[in-house]
Amino acid sequence: MTFRSIEFISTSPLLGLTLLALLVLFLEALMKKSEGAIFVVTLVGIAGCIALSIRSFDQTGTAFLGMVKAGGLTNFFYVVFLIAAGLTVLISRSYLERERINFGEYYCMLLFGAVGMMLIAAANDLIIIFLGIELMSLSLYVLAGFMRKRPKSIESALKYFILGAFATGFLLYGIALIYGTAGSTRFETISARFPDLVSDALFWIGVGFILIGFSFKVAAVPFHMWVPDVYEGAPTTVSAFMSTGGKAAAFAAIVLLFIDVFGARTPKLTSVLSALSAATMIVGNIIAISQQNLKRMLAYSSIAHAGYILAGVAAGNELALSGILFYLTAYTFMNIGGFGVLSLLEQQEDRNLTFEDYGGLGYRKPFVAALMCIFMFSLSGIPPFAGFFGKYYIFAAAVKAHLTWLAIVGVLTSAISVYYYLRLVVYMYFREGTSSELPGTSKASLVGLTVCAAAVLALGILPSIVLHVTQALR
């Protein structure tokens, strides 16, 4: 068995990030007080991997006996995951120091989690998807409990691990059933035999189990109950990475299977995806209204946004695919921005995490409050921010696929979300502060948040930046 050099070149972003994660592991093991060096090496390495991903966009094909894909949409997802990882690193340093958990292992696990995400996007086989999900999940389990002296963080990691293992069982059993009926785990073979498998009940049971496994990862209703507890207990920067990179990776797998492989799916599967989307949008937005803790509010918001993206999966057309890719890109910037502001102002023992704690923030820290406004406006879908066009393309795709009722549900639930997003804006500018204790702002965090805000504005004013790229890559 031999591998050509072109295979290593085409998969260089994935291999490069893996080597970077191993380098960080060795630096942590061999150097004392290596956190500062690891921070710089991690940022530089991620930037290099982004450059490799962009440079090899046009080197499409498969590698390593056809098990992984390279170039095209695979590299687009690489860039999204790497941006999420890079921004998380930027906003993490001051937060880790303040919480006294500034250890090199944090960056190592973050990088291994990103490797798992990239492996999912590169998959051309169900086994590779499973390996990617496990690598990503194991890293996130550790990161969720990284504040190991805090009971809430340990509880968060334990809940995530137990429920994640349960969901993995569904996923693996679904893969086994599909292998038993299709005779292969390779995407091309399953897609070619799909017309013959439509009448096979075992095949559809396998598809259903896989959908359950992925629904847990994207936090779709009714597999969403772990999200608020895990996001609240985990370090805030980990919640940012989990809600963006982790969600984008799971949707990368859903796009690969339910749009590419099952492209000629039956109306029944479309109905199931539509019902899943509608329930997720409704439950996420309604429960978010009653939340007082901002991390739990953003957690239920994350559930609602999974519902919006699932509407695009239900539509399954070309416009839906472009809309999903645009939405995932925009969501990465605006949600890391939102959690990033929380991490910037959060104090030990979960202080400065309620609406009341943000009272008068517009006067005490005007720049930070302005950034938070941009992220809240974008998450609520108000133009000219990126969130508006993300929802527009998704709902337009649903209408085009004759799922007008689903688009109406999306618009109505999005209108509901305006209440709890803009409620925070009201507190920042029209309420007096109840807490005068705010930590100093970190330059690295402010750079990361400014990049997020600039990207949200740029994508809102020029959405074609992403759309032209995604359409050219198909």
Residue written as tokens 């390279």? Answer: 70
- Measured CA to CA, the distance from residue 377 to residue 374 in angstroms comes to 5
DSSP string covering 307-359: HHHHHHHHH-SHHHHHHHHHHHHHHHHHHHHHHHHHHHH-BTTTBS-BTGGGT
Residue written as tokens 């035999």? Answer: 193
190 pLDDT above the threshold of 60: yes
- What percent of the chain has a predicted confidence (pLDDT) above 90? 48
Question: Which residue would you say has higher pLDDT here, 359 or 376?
Answer: 376
pLDDT given at position 435: 59
pTM over 0.85: yes
pLDDT given at position 194: 84
Q: What is the pLDDT of residues 98-122, one digit of tens each?
A: 888 888 889 999 999 999 999 999 9
CA angle, 13 then 218 then 322, to 5° = 60
CB atoms < 10 A from the CB of 5, how many? 7
Q: What is the pLDDT of residues 248-286, one digit of tens each?
A: 999 999 998 888 888 756 788 889 999 999 999 999 999
Q: Which two tokens stand for residue 69?
A: 């894909």
474 pLDDT above the threshold of 90: no
439 pLDDT above the threshold of 90: no
Contact 211, 310 (CB under 8 A): no
Query: Where does residue 178 rank: exposed (0-12), middle (13-18), buried (19+ CB within 10 A)?
Result: buried
Mean pLDDT of 287-316: 92
CA angle, 68 then 71 then 73, to 5° = 95
Among 12, 240, 27, 257, CA closest to 123 = 257
Cα separation values, 142 from 42, 135, 174, 235, Å: 19, 11, 26, 11
Among 142, 383, 143, 151, CA closest to 240 = 143
352 pLDDT above the threshold of 80: no
Q: What is the pLDDT of residues 218-258, one digit of tens each?
A: 989 888 888 999 998 889 999 999 999 999 999 999 998 88
Q: What is the pLDDT of residues 42-100, one digit of tens each?
A: 999 999 999 998 887 777 778 777 888 887 888 899 999 999 999 999 998 888 888 88
436 pLDDT above the threshold of 60: no
Q: What is the pLDDT of residues 120-154, one digit of tens each?
A: 999 989 999 999 999 999 999 999 988 888 888 88
Classify strands 61-63 and 68-70 as parallel, antiparallel or unpaired.
antiparallel
Mean pLDDT of the residues in the chain: 88
The amino acid at 232: E
- Supply the angle between the helices 226-233 and 294-315 in degrees, to the nearest 10: 130
- Measured CA to CA, the distance from residue 35 to residue 20 in angstroms comes to 15
CB atoms < 10 A from the CB of 110, how many? 28
- Measured CA to CA, the distance from residue 429 to residue 433 in angstroms comes to 10
What 3-state class would DSSP assign to 123? Answer: strand
Among 194, 333, 213, CA closest to 266 = 194
* Cα 168 from chain centre: 18
